[in-house]
């Protein structure tokens, strides 16, 4: 029997911020938590959506954080919240009287989750930065790129999302487990430098072994090896090769029509890698990607097409329906795509429009009235009012 999502019933206040904070909130929302985004109060803002596209399953409330009324409202909301997400640079919420010392004192069960780019106690703590900067000082960026070329940042996936939002989500889950044992919440801190560095644990350790002690782009797993790389096809598309094991390599070279090169027993000999790469390149360019797919699909050659999201979105045969990162059979997370919401098949709950390819626009204040009614039983006019787009307490409503 399928039950509610794993985090159903948890109440989360997410201060609006850039992508890493909203991503942590998105992970919580997809797992069933009630996430209320706190947007900055801007006159007439309710007619203008924010740039945040990570708003699935969320509601919004607009508050003037610099006003006494706004600060009081946050404090009242925090008394019953389970989790707060603070995405700001160190000290921002503390200056507004909304830091963990104050909010956790009034709600001992509160999990105050905050995230920064640089370490809070490091030399860069007072500096601004972005994904590429956090990767740079973590050491991770030095590993990424081709031989003889400059380090290359892979979009903003590794620091902002994997090392930032996802790590903060993990910390929140750990704090929830600890709260079950102690009955008390705590401050959870994540930063993208440590997060990215932690994700690079394996390649960092390989730097001291023969598998990874060569310069960037010249090792087994970073583009130096011809049978672990990507190759252009006749139609300008690409195939990805990862035939590391001997049995997989044998299937690969046979499919490429290169089984007569006597490479199988010498595939680890770096002296023949330049020739091997040249012949791989020529072979792949002799056929289209679709033709190579016909040859390698269903085999153990570890050779697959490099698919683009435009294909995944439009071609049902490409398995492009977006799903939660993990499947929970008894308490499934909410579906990302409305097409995959059968929990008996995909381990997903109800879906949403957009299929994971189009972000849902959320206006400041959208869904906020309903959230306050659901969370606290508050009603507009009696317990709060909306003045020039901002939510303001009318009295001291009971929680």
Which amino acids are annotated catalytic? Answer: 160
Q: What angle do CA 37, 24, 186 make, to 5 degrees?
A: 90
- What is the length of the chain? 399
- Residue 53 φ then ψ, to 5°: -105, 0
Ranges assigned E (strand) in the chain = 11-15, 34-40, 58-63, 83-86, 111-116, 187-191, 228-232, 238-242, 303-305, 384-387, 390-393
CA 103/CA 186 separation, integer angstroms: 11
CA 28/CA 30 separation, integer angstroms: 6
**Is residue 72 within 8 Å of residue 393, measured between CB atoms?**
yes
Indicate the helix (H) or strand (E) that contains 203.
Answer: helix 201-206
Scanning the structure block, which residue is given the tokens 């791989």? 280
């Amino acid at each position: 029997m399928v039950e509610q999502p794993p985090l159903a019933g948890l109440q989360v206040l997410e201060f609006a911020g850039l992508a890493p904070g909203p991503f942590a909130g998105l992970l919580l929302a997809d797992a069933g938590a009630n996430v209320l985004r706190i947007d900055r109060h801007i006159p007439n803002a309710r007619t203008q959506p924010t740039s945040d596209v990570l708003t699935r399953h969320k509601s919004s409330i607009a508050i003037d954080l610099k006003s006494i009324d706004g600060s009081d409202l946050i404090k009242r909301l925090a008394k019953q919240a389970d989790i707060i997400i603070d995405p700001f640079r160190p000290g921002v919420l503390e200056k507004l009287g909304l830091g963990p010392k104050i909010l956790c004192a009034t709600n001992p069960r509160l999990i105050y989750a905050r995230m920064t780019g640089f370490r809070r106690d490091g030399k860069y703590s007072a500096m601004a930065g972005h994904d590429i900067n956090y990767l740079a000082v973590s050491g991770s960026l030095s590993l990424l790129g081709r031989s003889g070329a400059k380090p290359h940042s892979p979009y903003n996936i590794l620091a902002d999302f994997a090392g930032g939002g996802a790590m903060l989500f993990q910390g929140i889950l750990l704090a929830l487990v600890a709260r079950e044992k102690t009955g008390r919440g705590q401050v959870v801190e994540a930063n993208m430098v440590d997060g990215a560095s932690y994700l690079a644990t394996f390649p960092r350790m390989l730097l001291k072994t023969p598998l990874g002690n060569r310069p960037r782009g010249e090792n087994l797993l970073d583009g130096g090896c011809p049978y672990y790389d990507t190759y252009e096809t006749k139609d300008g598309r690409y195939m990805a090769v990862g035939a590391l094991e001997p049995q997989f390599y044998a299937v690969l070279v046979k499919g490429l029509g290169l089984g007569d090169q006597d490479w199988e027993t010498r595939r680890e000999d770096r002296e023949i890698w330049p020739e091997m790469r040249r012949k791989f390149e020529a072979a792949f360019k002799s056929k289209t990607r679709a033709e190579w797919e016909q040859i390698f699909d269903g085999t153990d050659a570890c050779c697959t097409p490099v698919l683009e999201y435009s294909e995944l979105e439009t071609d049902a045969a490409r398995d492009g329906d977006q799903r939660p990162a993990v499947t929970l059979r008894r308490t499934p997370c909410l579906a990302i795509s409305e097409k995959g919401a059968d929990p008996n098949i995909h381990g997903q709950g109800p879906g949403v429009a957009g299929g994971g390819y189009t972000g849902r626009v959320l206006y400041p204040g959208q869904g906020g009235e309903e959230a306050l009614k659901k969370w606290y039983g508050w009603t507009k006019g009696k317990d709060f009012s909306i003045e020039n787009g901002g939510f303001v307490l009318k009295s001291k409503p009971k929680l």
